[in-house]
Amino acid sequence: MLLRTFGWSFAVTALGLVAAVFYGGWTAFGIVAILSIMEISLSFDNAVVNAGILKKMNAFWQKIFLTIGILIAVFGMRLVFPVVIVAISAQLGPIEAVDLALTDKDRYQELVTDAHPSIAAFGGMFLLMIFLDFIFEDRDIKWLAWLERPLAKLGKVDMLSVCIALIVLLVSAITFGAHAHQHGGAHVDKAETVLLAGIAGLITYMIVGGLSGYFEDKLEEEEEREHEEEERAARTGKPKSAVALAGKAAFFMFLYLEVLDASFSFDGVIGAFAITNDIVLMALGLGIGAMYVRSLTVYLVRQGTLDDYVYLEHGAHYAIGALAVILLVTIQYEIHEIITGLVGVTLIAWSFFSSVRRNRAPAAG
């Protein structure tokens, strides 16, 4: 069962790590490994959400999601998107950005370092909004109850997440942005750039959230319509057109899943810039992580164990919040990649063991 589900992921991992060693030695090996772990940890809640929806789909649409969907997830978001981010931020054409990254790494590194304040502000705000919306939501299951209960009460205030995010952005622009780190160790005033990039990140999050909400509403409408059709068929004794309804509902499920996956993979791509600016290593690490997320989704569906480790989603979102803070701080200060990578792993491990303790003593949870 394990080999059948994770076989392709194991194979991609082996190939990716070997490629990393040939590309940049053992240092590259370590970076790719950290990126893979980060992507898996940040996307675990994505896998849980995917599994919850995927189990409602028939075998045909499950295969569509696990074939076409994986192409979009790995090659679209994890491979192409990092190049697009660098191209836009450094004002390069996509082909020029790729060519520069492969043929003149020193110049590419300079451009990315100079563009890092805008990348960090954009990504930091996007990640911060994901974290804030999570901690301000009143959830039945609370991990750090002493913190999450009062935050859930505060979350009843409309637009609180946006207000806090804008305050954080303003403070970051005035403090970190005024002394933004550049290549060669220089510091320049990029407060305006940080402010504009952060607002763009906030807008992007709201657009992605709006699309996800739209598809989620469509999915609920289709499920309600299918339920009404089943009741009508039961009363009249007439067969309902199950194939058409299931197909339409599954199509909206597929669209919804792809938007969700794009939003969750976006934080992994942005977070990767806090670890490395090398698009080859980024592509290898995030691609390996994406494969495991897909395999994990299948495993959760087949095993039916979505609720076994209830705090993992919390740990993933706290890791997202930590990455948001780290990205904003790196506008001015350099933070070692190992520290950045271990923060997320530590939070995920903590939430996992907390879930295990809860399962052993359910009355105490």
Each residue of 177-203: pLDDT tens digit? 877 777 667 777 888 888 998 998 899
Calculate Rg over the CA atoms of the chain.
22
User: Could you tell me which residue, 244 or 268, shows the higher pLDDT?
Assistant: 268
Q: Contact 190/335 with Cβ under 8 angstroms?
A: no
β-strand partners of 269: none
Phi/psi of residue 304, each to 5°? 65, 40
Q: Which domain holds residue 242?
A: 2-364
pLDDT value, residue 365: 45
Half-sphere exposure of 200 (CA within 13 A, CB side): 15
The sign of the dihedral angle between the CA atoms of 150, 154, 160, 163 is: negative
- φ and ψ of 5, to 5 deg: -80, -40
> Tens digit of pLDDT for each residue in 152-169?
888 788 788 899 999 999
Inform me whether the pLDDT recorded for 207 exceeds 60.
yes
**Half-sphere exposure (Cβ direction) of 124: Cα atoms closer than 13 Å:** 30
Tens-place pLDDT, residues 49-89: 677 677 767 677 777 777 777 777 767 777 777 677 667 76
Which of 184-198, 264-278, 345-359 bottoms out in mean pLDDT, i.e. has the lowest? Answer: 264-278
As given in the structure block, the two tokens for residue 241 are: 């057109």
Strands 187-188 and 180-181: antiparallel
DSSP state letter for 157: S
Q: Which residues of 186-211 are buried (b: 16+ CB within 10 A; e: fewer)?
A: eeeebbebbbebbbbbbebbeebeeb
Give the separation between CA 255 and CA 235, rounded to whole angstroms: 32
**Model pTM score:** 0.72
Alpha carbon 17 to its chain's center:
22
Structural domains counted in the chain: 1
Q: Where are the alpha helices (DSSP H) in 176-278?
A: 191-236, 242-272
Q: State the Cα–Cα distance between residues 220 and 103, nearest whole angstrom.
A: 50
Is residue 239 predicted with pLDDT exceeding 70?
A: no
Give the Cα separation of 303 and 51 in Å (integer).
Answer: 10
Instruction: Confirm if 245 and 225 have CB atoms less than 8 A apart.
Output: yes
The residues that bridge with 187 in the sheet, in sequence order, are 181
Residue 341: the pLDDT is 66
Residue whose structure tokens are 């003149």: 104
* HEC profile of 83-139: HHHHHHHCCCCHHHHHHHHHHCHHHHHHHHHHHHHHHHHHHHHHHHHHHHHHHCCCC
Structure confidence at residue 339 (pLDDT)? 75
Q: What percent of the chain has pLDDT over 90?
A: 5
Buried b (16+ CB within 10 A) or exposed e, 251-284: bbbbbbbbbbbbbbbbbbbbbbbbbbbbbbbbbb
User: What proportion of the chain, given as a percentage, has pLDDT over 70?
Assistant: 77
Helix (H), strand (E) at residue 188: strand 187-188
Expressed in percent and rounded to 5, the helix, strand and coil fractions of the chain are: 85, 0, 15
